[in-house]
Chains A and B, each alone.
Chain A
């Protein structure tokens, strides 16, 4: 005889549970952590390269780089001054909490002040998989177009900071900033936004100040 069993369990509950455990580990080490998400080519690695020179003399930084294959990004992060760990996701389009947990094992967390997790370039999948980092950061870039919040609402809904990269290209590309910002506001009204150019360095200082404030806050928490 068929019997109906009530389940009412979030599909992501297993991942969420591991994310909570990751968060606990990072909290115990007073290590401030960022999950950096964006489409391929938006400037995740360039942002890390632009950020590190400004803070590496004061803080110790670890970078975990997720890619489907290769260690190009981890190499670039290491070159810029971070202790880098590469995660090859083997075809998976995102890092999940379990992969991050394994990568964390390769680092002595107490040694570091800032952990940068560079997610796989993708605007859909990483949004669904919490990692347990303190903040989720999304990079949008001007050449991608102004309609991305409308097309990828899930990604814009749950991030804590938004970087608008490649603002130096604004004069050359059709990008309606008001339309873009309207979409962002509908999904995430109080989202803090940093317009930057990783190429010229414009705006990077505001972003770096925000990061440094959070590192300090976490140190004393």
Chain B
């Protein structure tokens, strides 16, 4: 249910950048979401249509780019990805010591305006 606040934040960032660039309308938003971020695309889309009515974002398309979670094993120095959204020890040496290299992203990358 935090998607409501999140969607409001996305709209506010987009509108600010749109206005700075004298946009008549924002047609597309490109969002980057890491696999470890707990954000559900469908919920954002659902709130989006409600929140942006009567704004320059009204009717804009949301594009979600999902970044897979990637880890670096501190014991064997290899890199590996999360499989099926499940957290597992290193598949090469079974170590549980790792750094998270990517997957926590959550930002608005760019917008299309007219």
A residues neighboring B (CB under 8 Å):
1-15, 91-94, 96, 124-125, 127-129, 149-150, 152-154, 157, 182-183, 185-187, 189
Secondary structure call for the B interface = mixed
Contact indicator B111/A7 (Cβ below 8 Å)? yes
Contact indicator A124/B100 (Cβ below 8 Å)? no
Q: Mark B45-60, 1 if CB is under 8 A from A, else 0.
A: 0000000000000000
Contact indicator A128/B9 (Cβ below 8 Å)? no
Q: Which 5 A-B pairs have the closest CB atoms?
A: A125-B2, A93-B1, A185-B96, A186-B96, A7-B108
Some 27 contacts from A to B, beta carbons below 8 A apart, are A1-B114, A2-B27, A3-B21, A3-B114, A4-B111, A4-B112, A5-B113, A7-B17, A9-B17, A9-B107, A11-B106, A12-B106, A13-B13, A14-B9, A92-B2, A96-B5, A128-B6, A129-B2, A153-B36, A154-B38, A157-B100, A157-B104, A182-B96, A186-B87, A186-B89, A186-B96, A186-B98
Residues of B in contact with A, size category: 35 or more
Instruction: For the complex formed, measure the closest distance between the CB of B42 and the CB atoms of chain A, giving whole angstroms.
Output: 15
Instruction: For the complex formed, measure the closest distance between the CB of B69 and the CB atoms of chain A, giving whole angstroms.
Output: 8
Contact indicator B38/A128 (Cβ below 8 Å)? yes
* In the complex, chain B residues whose CB is within 8 Å of the CB of A149: 87
Q: Mark B1-31, 1 if CB is under 8 A from A, else 0.
A: 1101110011011100110010100010001
Separation of A5 and B56 alpha carbons in the complex (Å): 15
Contact indicator A4/B110 (Cβ below 8 Å)? yes
Separation of A185 and B89 alpha carbons in the complex (Å): 10
